[in-house]
Each structure stands twice: as structure tokens, then as C-alpha cells.
Amino acid sequence: MESSAEKLRGLTITSLDEEEDEPELPHRSPSAAGGIGAGYEDEDDDEEEEEAEVTLGFLEKPKHPGLLLRHLFPSKAGGIPAWLDPVNLPSGNSRCCGFCGEPLQFALQIYAPLEDNSAAFHRTLFMFMCPSMACLLRDQHEQWKHRQGSPCRSVKVFRCQLPRSNAFYSSEPPKHNSSDKPLCPGVPASKSWPEYEIAIDYEGAFDSDSCDESNSKSLVMQRPGKPDDMMQSWMDQFEADADNKCWASFQERISRAPKQVLRYCRESNAKPLWALSAGCPSNADIPSCSYCKGPLCYEFQIMPQLLYYFGVKNEPDSLDWATVVVYTCQGSCNQNVSYMEEFAWVQELADIVCAHFD
């Protein structure tokens, strides 16, 4: 099948202030390409199974705010959600931090319909998180307790899906109208991160032989504010540690496209890209679907560069992570619940520091 994403120019991140002068990126939006992950048909089933193809997400300022309206099924980060079901929204404590009780901030949403599931003709995943690093640290400990009950969380992911025939959208492809106005009830705009469109490209479009090693450092090092000496210290020591294959692999993969904020792959052989073995869940640590009790599967992960675009400063108490990995119901079950909560696993940079220096 012909690729649904155009080639991306390899660009090195310098600073947010310089982005306006950069040439326009030739990504295609996920909605225009049928959603993130669309087009993954195996062209030769007889060949030996290869590594799963990963779709990368990059942030761009939208050319027009109307492009991010819900009826265009956008994939976006920051701002306010473009709810797929605009009526039956998550409510009450489901949209609040389990630790501080404050409303969670919208991080991103991914339009990811499933061709083989008629109930998921339209399907969007929404991620929310508390901006408090103290809450995220507590969340990291609570996630290990998932088998013991319902832990408190500061990171929540909701899945919403609709069949082709539904009460909100026509079965015909949407048309953009520049006069359309955003509509998103129930979310305070005053508490939001900067808004971006998520554009996609395949990881295979980037040449691993030409990647710049320094680019991988920028993913976790480059933030507004003063450099973090502790971060630089342990990164330098990682480089001298020949046994740390996981960290080396993480650096190599992200250096191919250092602007990536998202990695998506729902194929059966897909695996998350972990920064280190410390803080990784075992199969037993991943719970079953809380609705149908079926297995969860890896679907996507967000990368620390997202914090750079959100303007999170590199300070001791600032929000930070190595990656946040999301597992969703393998069957994408339909339980007559508009927004079903999925499972997120947080791997923090503190895990890496402790694992290396303890």
C-alpha cells in the first residue's frame, strides 16, 4: 500500500524562538491520512516477519485553528480536547488528579481508527496529566499496585470510539469550513499547554546512518532554563558504560528523528522503546482491560521532547519523564461507555538515575 505520509526533512531542534524561521515540514496530518497507524498492510506475507513499523509524531503550529475541530478528527497536542463524542464527556473525579484533586491538563489526542473493527470506525485516544511533578512521582509508585486494585493516577488516557453510523458525524468525509468555531465544553482554557497539530511520518523514512549523536541528547537536555548539571553527569556516564545497551539503543533510535514527541504502533509485534530496563513493567504488571477483562496491548508512547514544546522549564520541580507508554484494550471493546479509561505506564528519568548510581 502506498505510504500515507510524505517524507520529512531531517531538522535539528535548536530553540522554540527559531521555529518560525524554519522551512515548512512536509508531514501529512493523521486525519488526512486516515488516522495514525493507517496503511500498515503487509505487502509480502511470505517474507520473514520484520520489526514493526513505527509511526512518529511531530508537532507543528496549525495553519488555521479550524483544522483542529472535532469533526475533522484531528490528532493534536495542547490546547483543549476536540472531543470525539461531544456530549457524553468524562466527568467528576475521572478528569481529576488522584493525588492533589486538581483537574488534569489535556496533553494530546490521537485519531486512530481500526479498519477491522466496525465499532471503531472513528476512534480517538485522549491523554491527560497533572502538571505537578510531585504527583507524577507518586503516580510512578502507584502504577506498580494496579494488580492490587484501582490505584490513584495523575496520568489518564481515555478511548472513545464510534461506528460509521452515529449521532454526531456524517458517513461522508468531512469538509473544512474556515467559519467553523471551536467548541469544547467543560475544559478551562486558562489551564492549557500551547496547541499544536500532530503530523506524522514513518520512522523508516529517517536514515539511521546519518543521525547526529548530539541530537539524541537534545531530547532530554534541551529545555527553557539553565542546563541541568546532574542530567549531563549521568548522561556522560551512560556513554562510558558499555553494558547499558538499553540506553544506547534509546539514544540511537531517537537521534534518527530528535523532534519526535510520539511513537505509535499497534501491530502485534510492537514493543515500546524504553530508556532503560529499570522502571519497565513485566507482562504481569500490565493489567487486563477493566471493561471486558481481555488483554491490553501496547499502542503508543510519548517522548520527553513534548515537554520542550509545552515550554516546561528544566528545573528540579518541573514535570519530567523518560517516556509514558500507553496500553489499550487489544480488542478495543465497546461497552456502551463513551470514554473508557486505558492504562498508562510512566518511566521517569529518576528511574534511570537511581538504576545507574545506586
User: Are 330 and 293 within 8 A, CB to CB?
Assistant: no
345, β-bridge pairs:
325
Residues of the chain with confidence (pLDDT) below 70: 1-33, 38-49, 146-149, 174-190, 208-243, 350-358
Residue 1 included in any domain: no
Q: Is residue 5 part of a domain?
A: no
In a domain, 62, yes or no: yes
What is the reported pLDDT for 191?
81
The 10s digit of each residue's pLDDT in 158-176 is 999 999 999 999 988 766 5
Asked if residues 123 and 113 have their Cβ atoms less than 8 Å apart, the reply is yes
Any domain includes 305:
yes
Distance CA 51, CA 180 (A): 42
Number of domains in the chain: 1
Q: Looking at residue 185, what is its pLDDT? A: 47
Encoded amino acid at 327, one letter: Y
pLDDT of residue 268: 92
Write down the pLDDT at residue 183.
Answer: 44
Q: What is the 3-state secondary structure (H, E, C) of the chain?
A: CCCCCCCCCCCCCCCHHHHHHCCCCCCECCCCCCCCCCCCCCCCCCCCCCCCCCEEEEEECCCCHHHHCHHHCCCEECCCCCCCCCCCCCCHHHHECCCCCCECEEEEEEECCCCCCHHHCEEEEEEEECCCHHHHHHHHHHHHHHHHCCCCCCEEEEEEEECCCCCCCCCCCCCCCCCCCCCCCCCCCCCCCCCEEEEEEEHHHCCHHHCCHHHHHHHHHCCCCCCCHHHHHHHHHHHHCCCCHHHHHHHHHHHCCCCCCEEECCCCCCCCCCCCCCCCCCHHHCCCCCCCCCCEEEEEEECCHHHHHCCCCCCCCCCCCCEEEEEEECCCCCCCCCCEEEEEEEECHHHHHHHHHC
Full domain range(s) for residue 144: 16-357
The predicted pLDDT at position 235 comes to 57
**pLDDT at residue number 246:** 83
Looking at residue 27, its pLDDT comes to 54
The reported pLDDT for the residue numbered 315 is: 81
- Does 10 fall in a domain? no
Would you state the pLDDT for residue 211?
Answer: 57
In a domain, 11, yes or no: no
Q: Is residue 73 part of a domain?
A: yes
Q: What is the pLDDT of residue 29?
A: 57
Q: What per-residue confidence (pLDDT) applies to 144?
A: 78
Give a yes or no: residue 38 inside a domain: yes
